[in-house]
Amino acid sequence: MSGYVTDPEQLEACVGRLPGPRDLKVIDHLDRHAIDWIAASPCAFAVFGDAAGLAVTAAGGAAGFAHAEGERRLAWPAEALDDPTLAREGAGVGTLFLVPGLGETLRVNGRVGAVAGGRIAIEVEECYLHCAKALIRSGFWAASPAGEAPPADPATRLEASRFLALGTLDASGRADLSPKGDPAGALLRLRDGAAWFPDRPGNRRVDSFRNILAQPRVAALALVPGSHDVVHLAGIARLCADADACAPFAVDGKTPKLATRLDEPRLRAFASPALARARLWPLRPTTARLDPAEIFRAHVGLSRERGLQAGMARAATAVPGLLRRSLDRDYKKNLY
């Protein structure tokens, strides 16, 4: 099959130029908004990776099972993770924190600083809020608790999945965990001995894609919202812009420009104790006062990005209500 993307120039030609101030909403610490978000979160996903490999695990418990130890360190009990053995000192880590009822997710990236006494400490390097599109497309919070046992076959479970937490590493071992969501059948497909999933409109940071080009080992956790049963998959990824490869993932008449192929994926299906402890479904919205638009605005203000474009963006986000209206319009018109 032709159409594989092998360098950053081809990637840019396929998905478009990256936004000028790409890291405008990224901060290098946990501000008060991030700390409040983590305190309200009963569930997170995490990718851990180093030279020995990488894998994704779920973590969960009562809201606030993880907590900030100042602005530069995040800590959680090892027992909160489905697989705490993944957390090795010095490993790159990317995390994704969910708050019930909110479509946005908080991404915190860094390194494992210490593993001792049943506690895992993460040294924070990046923190930012991710848009709500993945959870909206997957119907994540609209799900009801699963009432039937899932299919025993991991491949069947995989193709029924509607949410994916994709873990990647860059050439320096920095980790990233990206949320992806779609209706069943439009997110993951198995064909030709490979697992495929599409790219959809989102934050346009393309961290996962740039990482795959630099270091193609990936891992992911797939699930059906409402169920505690998950599938872990891992393999070597390739980016494909071939029209025939992307066509099966069309939704509402819109075909993605790019799809990711995992060659000879290793699949493992299991029940996640962490998701069971988090009790995400049926939805019980958080009582915490969290305003994603305000968090985006605050992070733009705290970002170290400079220049004319960054200054113009900061001025725009300062207009009362403008960012909220922009987010609502984007979520309605640009899901696919």
Dihedral angle of Cα 248, 252, 257, 260, to the nearest 10 degrees: -50
Judge whether 335 and 200 are in contact, CB under 8 Å. Answer: yes
Confidence of residue 15 (pLDDT cuts 50, 70, 90): confident
Residue 303 has a pLDDT of 76
Residues in the chain: 336
Among 9-13, 63-67, 284-288, the range scoring the smallest mean pLDDT is 9-13
- End-to-end Cα spacing for the chain: 25
Of all residues in the chain, the percent with pLDDT exceeding 70 is 93
As beta bridge partners, residue 267 has: 233
Distance CA 259, CA 223 (A): 19
Residue indicated by tokens 């075909």: 255
Domain 4-333 is of which CATH architecture?
Answer: Roll (2.30)
The tens digit of pLDDT for each residue in 245-266 reads 999 999 999 999 999 999 999 9
* Cα gap 167→181, rounded to integer Å: 14
168 bridge partner residues? 176, 218
User: Each residue of 298-336: pLDDT tens digit?
Assistant: 998 887 777 666 666 676 677 767 888 989 999 999 999
Q: What residues contact residue 74 under an 8 Å CB cut-off, 6+ apart?
A: 30, 38, 66, 67, 68, 95, 108, 110, 121, 122, 124
Query: What pLDDT shows up at residue 317?
Result: 75
Q: What is the pLDDT of residues 87-106, one digit of tens each?
A: 999 999 999 999 999 999 99
For residue 72, pLDDT over 70 is answered with yes
pLDDT of 185 over the 60 cut: yes
Give the pLDDT confidence of 151-178 residue by residue, as tens digits: 678 899 999 999 999 999 999 999 999 9
Reading the block at residue 100, the tokens are: 């019930």
Q: Are 180 and 166 contacting, i.e. CB atoms less than 8 angstroms apart?
A: yes
Q: For 236, list phi and psi in degrees, rounded to 5.
A: -100, 125
Q: What is the CA radius of gyration of the chain?
A: 19
Peptide bond preceding 179 in cis form (omega within 30 of 0):
no
Domain ranges of the chain: 4-333
pLDDT band at 2 (very low <50, low <70, confident <90, very high): confident
Q: What is the pLDDT of residues 196-242, one digit of tens each?
A: 999 998 766 789 999 999 999 999 999 999 999 999 999 999 999 99
If pLDDT is split at 50, 70 and 90, which confidence band does 149 have? low
Which residue bears the tokens 């907590």?
A: 67
pLDDT for the residue numbered 151 = 67
What tokens does 134 get? 């993945």
Please identify which residue in the block is written with the tokens 């958080």: 286
Residue 96 phi/psi, 5-degree rounding, is: -140, 110
